Amino acid sequence: MKMNAYVAGVGMTSFGRMMERGLKAITGDAILAALTDAGMEATDIEAAWMANAAAGVLTGQECIRGQVALRAIGIGAIPVVNVENACASASTAFNQACAMVTSGAYDVVLACGAEKMYFEDKSKVFGAFMGAVDVEHLKSIMENLQRSAAASGASQASKGAGQNRSMFMDIYAAAARAHMARFGTTVEQFAMVSAKNACHGSLNPRAQFRETMSVEEVLAAPTIAEPLTRPMCSPIGDGAAAAVIVSEKKMRALGLTKAVRIASSVLRSGWDHESGADGLSEVCAREAYDEAAVGPEDLSLVELHDASAPAEIIAYESIGLCAKGEGGRLVADGATKLGGRIPVSTSGGLLRKGHPIGATGIAQVVEIVDQIQGRAGARQVEGARVGLCHNGGGNIGIDAAAQCVTILMGQ
C-alpha cells in the first residue's frame, strides 16, 4: 500500500553464531540500538510488531514471543503483535507497522525481527524449514525435487534434503537448473553473485562472513545440491534487527530531518499461475514502483532475497533490473557490484551478511536506511537516495508463499 510513514531510527546486531546468548538478549540489543538511533525512549513506543519464524520449533517459545522479548527490556502495557510469515516475517512486521502509522492509529511504533538458529542439533534446525511448505504435500514435494535432480543428472541433489541441509536449497537448485536450461545462464555467473556479495560483506562489520572469495574459490567449494556450492547458499545464523517508525506529524514535530520515508510497501501471497507468467515478485515490484512513483531506473541500490546465488539472478529479472534471461549477464557485466549501475546486496546479502530468517526483512531496511543517510562506511553507495527491499518466504507450488517489496527514499 502507499505509505505515509518514516523510519526514525534503526538498530541491528551482528549476524552469526551466538551459542551463549538467548533470543531475548539478541532482540533487546537491536531494539535498544534503534531507540538510541531515533533519539527516543522505550516509553515513546505506542505499539510493536515482533517478527520471528522458528522459535516455536527451535526453543519452544510459542504464542508470546514478542511480549517476552519486550518485557526483558522493560517495555510493557502497549499492544504487541506477533508476526510469523516464514522468511518474510520481518518485512511483514515492518509492512504492518507502517500501515498502522499511515492509517493514523499511532505516531511512534516499533518493528523488530529476530531469530536464533544455532543449536547443536542441526537436523532440528533444518527440520524447521519443512514447515514453510504445505506439509500435507511434503512427500510429493520431496519426490518432485528428487525427480528433477535425477532428470538433470544432479546426483548430490537427489538425496539428503531436509537432513543435512535446508530443503529450500534443493528448491533453489531446481530453479537454477531450469534457468540454465531456458536461458543459458552459467554456473560461473552464479559464482559471480557469491564472489560479489563476499566482497560487499567484507566491508560490513555486522556480516556473518567477512572473507572475500574469488569466482574460482566459490566453484571449488563443496557441492550442496547441483549446481549450488556452499558459498552459493545462505547460512543459518542468529541475529536481530529493529526499526522505529513515526508518522509525518511526529517526524516534523521532532525535527527529524534525516528520517527516511517509506514510499511504498507491498505485501502479497502467492497463487496458482502458469509457469512463465508474471508471479509474486513481479506483481509486488510493479505495485511498489507505481505507489512510490518511481521505476527500476530510479533506484540507487537494492537489498534482495539472495537466499541462494541463483535467487539473486532470478530476482534481478523479476523486479525489473533487466529483462528475463539477462540476469546472468547483468552480474557478469559488473552492474550490480559497488560502483556499478545498480549495486545489489551491498550489505553482503543473505549469502554473506547472513540469514536469521525472522530478522532478514528488517535487516534489509537497516542497510537501505544507512545507505540513504550516508553512513555505510566503506560500502557506501555514492548519492544513495532511493532503495528497494525484496524479501520472500516459504514456497507453495511454483512461487513463494509470501513476498514483500518496500521502497525507501531520502527526504
> What is the structure's pLDDT at 157?
61
Structural domains of the chain sorted by starting position, each given as residue range(s) with its CATH number in brackets: 2-119+236-409 (3.40.47.10)
Contact between residue 190 and residue 310 where contact means Cβ atoms under 8 Å apart? yes
Cell numbers describing residue 272: 496458482
Low-confidence spans in the chain with pLDDT less than 70: 155-164
Question: To 5 degrees, how large is the angle CA 257–CA 261–CA 263?
Answer: 160
Residue 87 annotated as catalytic: yes
pTM of the complete model: 0.96
pLDDT tens digit sequence for 337-369: 999 999 999 999 999 999 999 999 999 999 999
> What is the structure's pLDDT at 162?
57
C-alpha to C-alpha distance for 13 and 15, rounded to whole angstroms: 6
Q: Residues 305, 355, 390, 404: which is the catalytic one?
A: 355
Strand partners, 48: 80, 110
Residue 137 annotated as catalytic: no
Q: Residues 87, 233, 322, 404: which is the catalytic one?
A: 87
pLDDT tens digit sequence for 133-183: 998 988 888 888 888 777 777 766 656 665 667 788 999 999 999 999 999
> What is the structure's pLDDT at 258?
95
C-alpha to C-alpha distance for 24 and 44, rounded to whole angstroms: 20
